[in-house]
Each structure stands twice: as structure tokens, then as C-alpha cells.
Structure 1
Amino acid sequence: MTGPANSLEVRDVSAGYGGSDIITSVTLAAAQGRITTIAGPNGAGKSTLMKTLAGLLRPRLGQI
């Protein structure tokens, strides 16, 4: 997944609140200069993922 076209890479990230993981083993790459969206139903972990990417929530596992 490493490459010059990727401005954001997420590998096997897990995060959550208290003792519960909300997102588990998330892997994605967002290319520089492209619009990338996160979609899913209520309760799927979209906000938790965005908080983790923004640094508001520390990942338990994985790399950003």
C-alpha cells in the first residue's frame, strides 16, 4: 500500500471506548488530490474512525 500517491495510509487500526473496540482491523489508503468518503449505517464506526484519524482518539492497534 505504500506509494507516493497516497497521502493517508491506515493499516489494521483498531480503536474504541472503554473496553470495547468499535472499529477493528481497518485498512485504507486515500490518494493525494482525490476525494475519499467513509460511508455506512448508523453505529458502523464512521465517527470513531474519523476521531482516530484526527488524533482525538488513540488507536489501540495498527498504524496511521
Structure 2
Amino acid sequence: MRVEKTVHMHNKEIESGTVESFNVAVIDSALFAQNVVVVLESKGHGICYIGGVRNNLKEIS
């Protein structure tokens, strides 16, 4: 994982695999996605979240 590589590059340790780290990742991703939606909608684009994208990349592309 990039996070682990970055942490190790700085001689730090990371605590992963906890519910807290999962929650932080989910919340950060949701906030990022919502901000992207706000920007794109302000420019006149329509948005549709697709939850199963990573399971069907070829079909969706």
C-alpha cells in the first residue's frame, strides 16, 4: 500500500487493520467524492455514483 510505503520512508509506524482506520478511509473517500460532485455539478455536469464499479470495470467502461 502507498500509505505503508510512505510511512516507512519516514521511519514511522502505522497501525492498520482496525475499525478506526477503516472508518477514516471510508469517511475520507466519501468527503472527497462529495467535493468532486459539488465541483462537477457547479460546472453543469451530471453525477451518478456507481457502487459496483470495481467489480465490473470492463462492462462499465
Would you call these one fold, judging by a TM-score over 0.5?
Answer: no
Higher relative contact order (CA 8 A, sep 6+): 1
What is the TM-score of this pair, normalised by structure 2? 0.26
TM-score of the two chains, using structure 1 as the length reference: 0.26
The structure with more strand, counted as a fraction of residues: 1
Which one has a larger percent helix, Structure 1 or Structure 2?
Answer: 2
